[in-house]
Protein backbone atom coordinates (compact mmCIF):
# COMPACT_ATOMS: atom_id res chain seq x y z
CA UNK A 1 0.00 0.00 0.00
CA UNK A 2 1.42 3.38 -1.01
CA UNK A 3 1.26 6.04 1.72
CA UNK A 4 1.62 9.78 1.23
CA UNK A 5 2.86 12.27 3.81
CA UNK A 6 -0.66 13.00 5.10
CA UNK A 7 -1.27 9.29 5.65
CA UNK A 8 1.93 8.97 7.66
CA UNK A 9 1.14 12.08 9.71
CA UNK A 10 -2.30 10.62 10.47
CA UNK A 11 -0.66 7.40 11.69
CA UNK A 12 1.89 9.31 13.78
CA UNK A 13 -0.84 11.34 15.48
CA UNK A 14 -2.76 8.15 16.29
CA UNK A 15 0.36 6.70 17.90
CA UNK A 16 0.74 9.91 19.92
CA UNK A 17 -2.77 9.43 21.30
CA UNK A 18 -4.88 11.71 19.14
CA UNK A 19 -8.41 10.63 18.22
CA UNK A 20 -10.15 11.65 15.01
CA UNK A 21 -13.81 12.20 14.20
CA UNK A 22 -14.47 11.52 10.53
CA UNK A 23 -17.55 11.20 8.38
CA UNK A 24 -15.94 8.55 6.19
CA UNK A 25 -12.80 6.70 7.37
CA UNK A 26 -10.04 6.68 4.75
CA UNK A 27 -8.72 3.56 3.05
CA UNK A 28 -5.66 3.75 5.30
CA UNK A 29 -7.87 3.82 8.41
CA UNK A 30 -9.87 0.84 7.14
CA UNK A 31 -6.65 -1.08 6.46
CA UNK A 32 -5.36 -0.29 9.95
CA UNK A 33 -8.60 -1.48 11.48
CA UNK A 34 -8.43 -4.74 9.55
CA UNK A 35 -5.15 -5.72 11.21
CA UNK A 36 -6.24 -4.63 14.69
CA UNK A 37 -4.23 -1.39 14.86
CA UNK A 38 -7.12 1.01 15.51
CA UNK A 39 -10.73 1.27 16.56
CA UNK A 40 -13.34 2.85 14.31
CA UNK A 41 -16.52 3.49 16.31
CA UNK A 42 -19.69 5.06 14.95
CA UNK A 43 -20.69 7.84 17.39
CA UNK A 44 -23.68 9.14 15.42
CA UNK A 45 -25.17 8.62 11.95
CA UNK A 46 -22.69 11.05 10.42
CA UNK A 47 -19.47 10.54 12.40
CA UNK A 48 -16.96 7.85 13.29
CA UNK A 49 -14.36 8.12 16.05
CA UNK A 50 -10.93 6.74 15.18
CA UNK A 51 -8.47 5.86 17.96
CA UNK A 52 -5.38 3.73 18.55
CA UNK A 53 -5.94 0.13 19.67
CA UNK A 54 -2.59 -1.68 19.44
CA UNK A 55 0.56 0.25 18.51
CA UNK A 56 2.65 -2.83 17.66
CA UNK A 57 0.12 -3.72 14.96
CA UNK A 58 0.64 -0.29 13.39
CA UNK A 59 4.33 -1.05 12.82
CA UNK A 60 3.44 -4.50 11.47
CA UNK A 61 1.10 -2.77 9.00
CA UNK A 62 3.86 -0.37 7.90
CA UNK A 63 6.36 -3.19 7.49
CA UNK A 64 4.16 -5.83 5.89
CA UNK A 65 1.65 -3.79 3.88
CA UNK A 66 3.67 -0.68 3.01
CA UNK A 67 7.22 -2.07 2.75
CA UNK A 68 8.46 0.50 5.29
CA UNK A 69 11.03 -0.76 7.77
CA UNK A 70 9.84 1.44 10.65
CA UNK A 71 9.62 0.06 14.18
CA UNK A 72 9.26 3.02 16.55
CA UNK A 73 8.00 6.58 16.88
CA UNK A 74 11.33 8.28 16.10
CA UNK A 75 11.89 6.33 12.89
CA UNK A 76 8.38 7.20 11.70
CA UNK A 77 8.89 10.88 12.61
CA UNK A 78 12.22 10.98 10.74
CA UNK A 79 10.66 9.34 7.71
CA UNK A 80 7.95 12.01 7.67
CA UNK A 81 10.55 14.77 8.07
CA UNK A 82 12.32 13.50 4.95
CA UNK A 83 9.28 14.28 2.83
CA UNK A 84 9.68 17.62 1.08
CA UNK A 85 7.13 19.03 -1.32
CA UNK A 86 9.90 20.85 -3.19
CA UNK A 87 12.21 17.83 -3.60
CA UNK A 88 14.15 17.60 -6.81
CA UNK A 89 13.85 14.43 -8.87
CA UNK A 90 17.24 13.33 -7.56
CA UNK A 91 16.18 13.91 -3.97
CA UNK A 92 13.02 11.89 -4.49
CA UNK A 93 15.19 9.02 -5.74
CA UNK A 94 17.24 9.27 -2.57
CA UNK A 95 14.09 9.11 -0.46
CA UNK A 96 12.86 6.08 -2.33
CA UNK A 97 16.18 4.27 -1.68
CA UNK A 98 16.32 5.20 2.01
CA UNK A 99 17.60 2.07 3.78
CA UNK A 100 16.08 3.16 7.09
CA UNK A 101 12.67 3.81 5.64
CA UNK A 102 12.25 1.16 2.99
CA UNK A 103 13.09 -2.52 2.96
CA UNK A 104 15.83 -3.29 0.46
CA UNK A 105 18.47 -5.95 1.13
CA UNK A 106 20.86 -4.26 -1.32
CA UNK A 107 20.90 -1.02 0.70
CA UNK A 108 22.04 -2.30 4.08
CA UNK A 109 25.05 -0.10 4.60
CA UNK A 110 26.29 3.49 4.52
CA UNK A 111 26.02 6.35 2.06
CA UNK A 112 29.11 8.60 2.04
CA UNK A 113 29.96 11.98 0.56
CA UNK A 114 32.54 14.69 1.27
CA UNK A 115 33.34 18.37 0.98
CA UNK A 116 36.87 17.82 -0.42
CA UNK A 117 38.50 14.75 -1.97
CA UNK A 118 39.20 12.16 0.73
CA UNK A 119 40.96 8.82 0.37
CA UNK A 120 39.55 6.06 2.58
CA UNK A 121 40.16 2.33 2.84
CA UNK A 122 37.33 -0.05 2.01
CA UNK A 123 38.54 -3.50 2.95
CA UNK A 124 42.11 -3.38 1.60
CA UNK A 125 41.42 -1.01 -1.31
CA UNK A 126 41.95 2.76 -1.37
CA UNK A 127 38.87 4.60 -2.59
CA UNK A 128 38.73 8.32 -3.37
CA UNK A 129 35.56 10.06 -2.26
CA UNK A 130 35.18 12.86 -4.80
CA UNK A 131 32.72 15.68 -3.96
CA UNK A 132 29.94 15.85 -6.54
CA UNK A 133 26.52 17.33 -5.81
CA UNK A 134 23.80 14.79 -6.40
CA UNK A 135 26.18 11.84 -5.91
CA UNK A 136 26.99 9.67 -2.88
CA UNK A 137 29.05 6.53 -2.44
CA UNK A 138 27.52 3.38 -0.97
CA UNK A 139 29.36 0.88 1.22
CA UNK A 140 27.73 -2.44 2.08
CA UNK A 141 27.48 -3.02 5.82
CA UNK A 142 29.90 -5.96 5.87
CA UNK A 143 32.73 -3.94 4.36
CA UNK A 144 35.56 -2.68 6.57
CA UNK A 145 35.86 1.11 6.28
CA UNK A 146 38.96 2.91 7.57
CA UNK A 147 39.09 6.70 7.72
CA UNK A 148 42.22 8.91 8.10
CA UNK A 149 42.49 10.22 11.66
CA UNK A 150 42.29 13.89 10.62
CA UNK A 151 38.91 13.48 8.90
CA UNK A 152 35.83 14.66 10.79
CA UNK A 153 32.78 12.41 10.53
CA UNK A 154 29.48 14.27 10.13
CA UNK A 155 26.44 12.14 10.97
CA UNK A 156 23.56 13.23 8.72
CA UNK A 157 19.90 12.55 9.54
CA UNK A 158 18.42 13.30 6.11
CA UNK A 159 19.68 11.57 2.97
CA UNK A 160 19.28 14.56 0.68
CA UNK A 161 21.94 16.37 2.72
CA UNK A 162 24.39 13.53 2.06
CA UNK A 163 23.52 13.69 -1.63
CA UNK A 164 23.97 17.46 -1.83
CA UNK A 165 26.81 17.92 0.67
CA UNK A 166 28.38 20.73 -1.37
CA UNK A 167 25.47 22.99 -0.46
CA UNK A 168 26.68 22.97 3.16
CA UNK A 169 30.41 23.62 2.65
CA UNK A 170 30.31 27.10 4.20
CA UNK A 171 29.24 25.69 7.56
CA UNK A 172 32.47 23.72 8.00
CA UNK A 173 35.75 25.59 8.48
CA UNK A 174 37.53 22.24 8.56
CA UNK A 175 36.81 21.02 5.02
CA UNK A 176 38.06 17.48 5.52
CA UNK A 177 34.62 16.20 6.47
CA UNK A 178 33.02 12.90 5.54
CA UNK A 179 29.22 12.93 5.50
CA UNK A 180 27.65 9.63 6.60
CA UNK A 181 23.91 8.91 6.80
CA UNK A 182 22.60 8.02 10.26
CA UNK A 183 21.04 4.56 10.21
CA UNK A 184 21.36 1.35 12.28
CA UNK A 185 24.53 0.32 10.42
CA UNK A 186 26.13 3.70 10.99
CA UNK A 187 25.33 3.52 14.72
CA UNK A 188 27.09 0.16 14.85
CA UNK A 189 30.05 1.47 12.84
CA UNK A 190 30.73 4.50 15.04
CA UNK A 191 31.20 2.33 18.13
CA UNK A 192 34.84 1.89 17.05
CA UNK A 193 35.24 5.37 15.61
CA UNK A 194 38.25 7.32 16.93
CA UNK A 195 37.80 10.39 14.71
CA UNK A 196 36.04 13.57 15.77
CA UNK A 197 32.28 13.30 15.26
CA UNK A 198 29.79 16.10 14.52
CA UNK A 199 26.07 15.39 14.48
CA UNK A 200 24.49 17.42 11.67
CA UNK A 201 20.76 16.94 12.12
CA UNK A 202 17.51 18.83 12.34
CA UNK A 203 17.27 21.65 14.87
CA UNK A 204 14.29 20.28 16.68
CA UNK A 205 13.61 18.31 19.84
CA UNK A 206 13.62 15.01 17.95
CA UNK A 207 17.06 15.88 16.54
CA UNK A 208 18.40 16.61 20.03
CA UNK A 209 16.99 13.28 21.22
CA UNK A 210 18.59 11.35 18.34
CA UNK A 211 22.02 12.86 19.01
CA UNK A 212 21.94 12.65 22.78
CA UNK A 213 20.22 9.30 23.31
CA UNK A 214 21.00 7.30 20.16
CA UNK A 215 24.32 8.59 18.85
CA UNK A 216 26.33 9.69 21.90
CA UNK A 217 26.04 6.34 23.75
CA UNK A 218 27.68 4.70 20.71
CA UNK A 219 30.65 7.07 20.61
CA UNK A 220 32.73 5.03 23.02
CA UNK A 221 36.13 5.68 21.46
CA UNK A 222 35.90 8.94 19.53
CA UNK A 223 38.18 11.74 20.69
CA UNK A 224 35.55 14.49 20.47
CA UNK A 225 31.88 14.82 19.61
CA UNK A 226 29.32 17.61 19.34
CA UNK A 227 26.05 18.58 17.68
CA UNK A 228 26.43 21.20 14.97
CA UNK A 229 24.54 24.34 15.99
CA UNK A 230 25.05 27.55 13.94
CA UNK A 231 25.93 30.67 15.93
CA UNK A 232 22.84 32.41 14.51
CA UNK A 233 20.47 29.51 15.17
CA UNK A 234 17.97 31.70 17.04
CA UNK A 235 17.58 34.03 14.06
CA UNK A 236 17.32 31.08 11.68
CA UNK A 237 14.58 29.45 13.74
CA UNK A 238 12.74 32.75 14.10
CA UNK A 239 12.83 33.40 10.35
CA UNK A 240 12.67 29.94 8.79
CA UNK A 241 11.33 27.71 11.56
CA UNK A 242 8.33 25.44 11.16
CA UNK A 243 5.51 25.74 13.73
CA UNK A 244 3.81 22.55 12.56
CA UNK A 245 6.96 20.50 13.06
CA UNK A 246 7.30 21.85 16.61
CA UNK A 247 3.69 20.99 17.40
CA UNK A 248 4.19 17.40 16.28
CA UNK A 249 6.94 16.89 18.84
CA UNK A 250 5.07 17.73 22.04
CA UNK A 251 6.07 14.38 23.51
CA UNK A 252 9.67 15.68 23.59
CA UNK A 253 8.90 18.90 25.48
CA UNK A 254 10.06 17.39 28.77
CA UNK A 255 13.24 15.96 27.22
CA UNK A 256 16.20 16.30 29.57
CA UNK A 257 19.42 17.55 27.99
CA UNK A 258 22.93 16.96 29.26
CA UNK A 259 24.99 19.88 27.92
CA UNK A 260 24.77 23.65 27.99
CA UNK A 261 24.69 23.88 24.18
CA UNK A 262 21.76 21.50 23.89
CA UNK A 263 19.94 23.26 26.72
CA UNK A 264 20.27 26.62 24.92
CA UNK A 265 19.01 25.10 21.64
CA UNK A 266 16.08 23.45 23.39
CA UNK A 267 15.08 26.71 25.09
CA UNK A 268 15.21 28.61 21.77
CA UNK A 269 13.00 25.99 20.12
CA UNK A 270 10.50 26.10 22.98
CA UNK A 271 10.51 29.91 23.15
CA UNK A 272 9.94 30.35 19.40
CA UNK A 273 7.61 27.31 19.22
CA UNK A 274 9.30 26.43 15.94
CA UNK A 275 11.69 23.79 14.64
CA UNK A 276 14.14 23.98 11.74
CA UNK A 277 15.02 21.18 9.34
CA UNK A 278 18.69 20.98 8.37
CA UNK A 279 17.88 21.32 4.65
CA UNK A 280 16.73 24.89 5.30
CA UNK A 281 20.33 25.96 5.93
CA UNK A 282 21.17 25.89 2.23
CA UNK A 283 18.22 28.13 1.36
CA UNK A 284 19.12 31.34 3.18
Residue 21 pairs in a beta bridge with 49
- Residue 74 belongs to some domain of the structure: no
Contact between residue 52 and residue 14 where contact means Cβ atoms under 8 Å apart = yes
**Is 60 exceeded by the pLDDT of residue 179?**
yes
Of the listed ranges 89-103, 120-134, 194-208, 255-269, the one predicted with least confidence: 89-103
Q: What percent of the chain has pLDDT over 70?
A: 90
Q: Which alpha helices (H) appear in 82-169, and where do they start and end? A: 89-96, 159-163
**Is 80 exceeded by the pLDDT of residue 47?**
yes
- Residue 198 belongs to some domain of the structure: yes
pTM, 2 dp: 0.63
- Residue 87 belongs to some domain of the structure: no
- Residue-wise pLDDT tens digits, 255-274: 899 899 999 999 999 999 99
- Residue 148 belongs to some domain of the structure: yes
Same domain, 137 and 238: yes
Contact between residue 72 and residue 59 where contact means Cβ atoms under 8 Å apart = yes
By residue range, what is the domain housing residue 57? Answer: 5-64
Same domain, 32 and 104: no
Same domain, 177 and 254: yes
Section 183-210 average pLDDT = 92
CATH code, domain with 33 = 1.10.10
Residue 49 pairs in a beta bridge with 21, 41
CATH code, domain with 155 = 3.40.1360.10
Same domain, 134 and 226: yes
- Residue-wise pLDDT tens digits, 238-260: 998 989 889 888 888 888 998 99
Same domain, 37 and 111: no
Same domain, 110 and 176: yes
- Residue 165 belongs to some domain of the structure: yes
Q: What's the number of CA atoms in the CB half-sphere (13 Å) around residue 260?
A: 0
What pLDDT is attached to residue 93? Answer: 42
Instruction: Give how many domains the chain has, as a whole number.
Output: 2
Amino acid sequence: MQLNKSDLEFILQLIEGKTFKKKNPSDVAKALKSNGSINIDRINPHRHEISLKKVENVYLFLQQKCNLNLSNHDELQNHINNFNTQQTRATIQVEQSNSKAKKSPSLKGLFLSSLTPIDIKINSDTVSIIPTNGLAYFCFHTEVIKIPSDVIIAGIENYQVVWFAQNYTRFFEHKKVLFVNTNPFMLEWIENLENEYIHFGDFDLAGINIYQNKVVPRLKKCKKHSMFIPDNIEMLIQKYGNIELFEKQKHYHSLEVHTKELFVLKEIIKKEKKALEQEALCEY
